[in-house]
Amino acid sequence: MTSKYAELNPPARLLLGPGPSMVHPLVLRALSTPLVGHLDPQFIVLMNEVQDLLRMVFEAPDALAIPVSGTGSAAMEASLCNFIEEADPVLVCVNGYFSERIIDMATRYRADVHRIDVPWGEVFSPKQVDEALKAKPAKIVAIVQAETSTGALQPLAEIAEVVHRHGALFLVDAVTSLGGIPVRMQETGIDICYSCSQKCLSAPPGLGPLAMGQRAVEVLKNRESKVASWYLDMTLVLKYWGPERTYHHTAPISMNFALREALRLVQEEGLPARFERHRRNAEMLWEGLAELDLKPHVPLGHRLPTLTTVTVPEGVDELGVRKALLDAYGIEIAGGLGAFKGKIWRIGLMGYSSRPENVVTLLGAMERILR
């Protein structure tokens, strides 16, 4: 017999969108390593190494940290369903697409969801959170550190203090920040934090790093009801990743090979050097955009270095530019989501994609397309 399909041969792409970012050649090599069983003594060693490396990148030495066996959205859902019981009050700070997603999920888990809003692209002040919690206490306060839909960077430390003063758990989405800008989970006072594998960590998508501080673990341990999802139930998953090694599901072995290598490369570079590289290449991009008369959507004060949103100039065909970048140069950037559709471009310089040669390639291609 023959298959109707040819062998896989996708086109070469320079990935400068909101993720996936380029995957380091060493990570691709780790990915293609022949497998060992998921209960093999050597895989158990690897599971411990991955957990240790996750605590390193979250900067949370006391946390329980594991890669959820799904994408960042699965980790988002796990960070909610494990701590929510029916009718629990949850406050969500909404300033973009992904905080709306948090509300959708929390509602499905029957939380009593309240929200505060600022316009997309803006960030919250500690005072706003304080007032919301004075008006109605919450068990969990959820916020997005790096909004992938807007490019805004939310300061966290003072809000963490407010949240804890009110006795709530502080839940932070670090999907577009972990490994690219400081998250500093423990120092900041984050209780629950999740991310993805395919942005600033530069592994392929398919795992969702999740870290839970001691306060969060206590809440998990003292639940009255079972977690509503079996697959994402951390009371079971942590027994599989912990010393008990109780079988739960089969871990995605190859993806864990890749994540270990990606995190090892983070450790090798060192977090401060890595953050500095992301900042330096972002500034190079911003200078180049200014020369092309293109304006970042978010003011410098709370602009993400990992993902830059650019206002599409009057009269320019948003989709046409992206299509030209992809077709003529093999470069991927993204358009806007939701309210920002057609109005912005989103340019990611994350992980292995954050390199000066990529910045000049993109700027050179954009100059030729726009002139």
| Rounded CA separation 12/27 (Å) | 17
Contact (Cβ atoms closer than 8 angstroms) between residue 91 and residue 133: yes
Residue 181 Cβ, how far from its own copies at the closest point, in Å?
18
Here the tokens at position 312 are 């599409």
CB of 258 to its own copies, least distance (A): 8
User: What secondary structure letter does DSSP report for 118?
Assistant: -
The token duo for 214 is 């001691």
Quick check: helix, strand or coil at residue 347?
strand
Q: Which is nearer to its own copies, 162 or 263 (CB)?
A: 263
The distance of closest approach from Cβ of residue 69 to its own copies in the complex, given in angstroms and rounded to an integer, is 6
Task: Please state, as a whole number, how many other Cβ atoms lie within 10 Å of the Cβ of residue 335.
Answer: 17
Closest CA to 27 of 207, 250, 242: 207
Q: How far apart are CA 9 and CA 193, in angstroms?
A: 36
**Based on CB atoms, which residue is closest to its own copies, 109 or 170?**
109
Q: How far is the CB of 161 from its own copies (least distance, A)?
A: 30
- The residues that bridge with 67 in the sheet, in sequence order, are 209
Residue closer to its own copies, measured from CB, 121 or 206: 206
Nearest to 166 by CA among 89, 82, 281, 80: 89
Give Cβ neighbours of residue 368 (< 8 Å, ≥ 6 apart).
none
At a CB cut-off of 8 Å and minimum separation 6, what does 343 contact?
311, 312, 318, 336
Query: CB–CB of 83/132 below 8 Å?
Result: no
247 vs 295, beta carbon nearer its own copies: 247
Cis omega (within 30 of 0) for bond into 20: yes
Residue 370 CB, shortest distance to its own copies, in Å, is 22
> In the complex, what is the shortest distance from the CB of residue 219 to its own copies, in angstroms, rounded to a whole number?
19
Shortest approach of its own copies to residue 163 CB, angstroms?
A: 24
We find the least distance from the C-beta atom of residue 65 to its own copies, in angstroms, to be 16
Cβ(144)–Cβ(154) below 8 Å? yes
In the complex with its own copies, which residue's Cβ is closer, 295 or 341? 341
Q: Closer to its own copies by CB, 32 or 222: give it.
A: 32
> CA 201, CA 175: separation in Å to the nearest integer?
10
Nearer to its own copies, 129 or 344 (CB): 344
Give the residues across from 122 on adjacent strands: none
Query: Whose Cβ is closer to its own copies: residue 1's or residue 300's?
Result: 1
CB of 130 or CB of 269, closer to its own copies: 269
d(CA 119, CA 300): 17
Pair of tokens at residue 178: 């972990």
Question: Closer to its own copies at the Cβ: 24 or 139?
Answer: 24
Nearest distance from C-beta of residue 43 to its own copies, angstroms? 7
Shortest distance (Å) from residue 21 CB to its own copies: 9
Conformation bin of residue 331: beta by default, left when phi > 0, alpha when psi is -120 to 50? beta
